[in-house]
Amino acid sequence: MDSNFSLILPFCGLILILFSFAYYFLNAELLKGSLKTIRPRYKETFTTETPPVEAFRAIMQFALQNGYRVDDLDEQKLCVILNERMTLTSYGSLYPIYVRENAGKTEVEVGVTSKLGKASIGPINNKLITRRLERMLNGIKGAVFAFKKT
């Protein structure tokens, strides 16, 4: 009886690890962002001469062309939450984006938050999050600039 138990014990640990991974994977895939609840820790803002509605269209076109999922959208307020799926190197991120008119120019605010939530505190994850924010910001700037030229 003891020998059977000692053979089963390592498999129980492996099964526990697999269930944990499946839980976190499903949590990342099923997590949806909401404009009412997402408050990003990291934000960047830029201004452009492009009218707000055109800038918002450019952002939406960029999101659809690059495989981001739209979790929440308010076309009246020109804001959206984009969802980046989980990959081998990332748990996934949520990007709240707000487009506003400010002093005759358009202000675009891009934020990022990890789907991992509060467990994402740490210097390595903070560096990854800020890189994702920079990548998204550069993509949106390029899309808005290109949309303005066409």
Q: Tell me, what's the pLDDT at 95?
A: 93
pLDDT at 120 over 80: no
Q: What is the mean pLDDT of residues 24-42?
A: 76
Q: Tell me, what's the pLDDT at 140?
A: 94
Total tally of structural domains belonging to the chain = 1
25 found inside a domain: no
Q: Tell me, what's the pLDDT at 11?
A: 80
CATH code, domain carrying 122: 3.30.530.50
109 found inside a domain: yes
7 found inside a domain: no
20 found inside a domain: no
Q: Tell me, what's the pLDDT at 4?
A: 65
115 found inside a domain: yes
Helix axes 123-149, 52-65, angle to 10 degrees: 120
124 found inside a domain: yes
> Residue 44 forms beta bridges with which residues?
110
pLDDT at 23 over 90: no
Q: How far apart are CA 139 and CA 71, in angstroms?
A: 19
Q: Tell me, what's the pLDDT at 146?
A: 87
pTM for the model stands at 0.78
Dihedral sign for Cα atoms in the order 101, 107, 108, 110: negative
The number of residues in the chain equals 150
19 CB burial (10 A radius; 0-12, 13-18, 19+)? exposed
3-state secondary structure 33-63: CCCCCCCCCEEEEEEECCCHHHHHHHHHHHH
Segments forming the whole domain that contains residue 36 = 31-149
1 found inside a domain: no
Q: Tell me, what's the pLDDT at 47?
A: 94
14 found inside a domain: no
Rg from Cα positions in the chain = 20
